[in-house]
């Protein structure tokens, strides 16, 4: 899956989560940082969002990976950064699978 398709999936999932929660959802763009810009998008919601994104994309995202925060800087990621991070994660997974085969 490429970064653009992943970005579209992210935007759809995040918008749906906000709607299902009865919360307002600002316009979502690649620069939107869900943790900073979405009302009540916190550590209780992150795992749910990650699971839905993994299901929608067919990706395997480990439970100990927070796709919404950069582990090194501890800063929230934008939607573009999340899409790039998940694409890189998928790439590494497929390389491991290819090496194991």
Quote the pLDDT of residue 49: 94
Where residue 44 sits, what CATH number does that domain have?
A: 1.10.1200
| Segment 48-101, tens digit of pLDDT | 999 999 998 888 898 889 999 999 999 999 999 999 999 998 888 888 877 877
- Kindly report the number of other CB atoms within 10 A of residue 51's CB atom: 13
Decide if pLDDT at 1 tops 80. Answer: no
Write the CB contacts of 4 (distance below 8 Å, at least 6 apart in sequence).
83
What is the structure's pLDDT at 14?
A: 96
Segment 9-37, tens digit of pLDDT: 999 999 999 999 999 999 999 999 999 99
Structural domain including 64 reads 3-100
Residue 5 to residues 23, 73, 86, 96, 101: CA-CA distances in angstroms?
25, 26, 11, 23, 27
The pLDDT, as a whole number, for residue 79 is: 97
User: What's the number of domains the chain is made of?
Assistant: 1
């Amino acid at each position: 899956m490429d970064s653009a398709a992943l970005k579209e999936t992210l935007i759809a999932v995040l918008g749906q989560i906000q709607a299902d929660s009865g919360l307002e959802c600002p316009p979502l763009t690649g620069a939107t940082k869900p943790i900073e810009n979405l009302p009540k998008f916190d550590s209780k919601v992150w795992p749910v969002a990650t699971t839905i994104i993994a299901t929608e994309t067919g990706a395997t995202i480990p439970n100990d990976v927070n796709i919404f925060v950069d582990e090194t800087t501890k800063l929230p990621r934008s939607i573009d950064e999340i899409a790039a991070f998940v694409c890189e994660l998928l790439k590494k997974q497929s390389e491991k699978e290819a090496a194991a085969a």
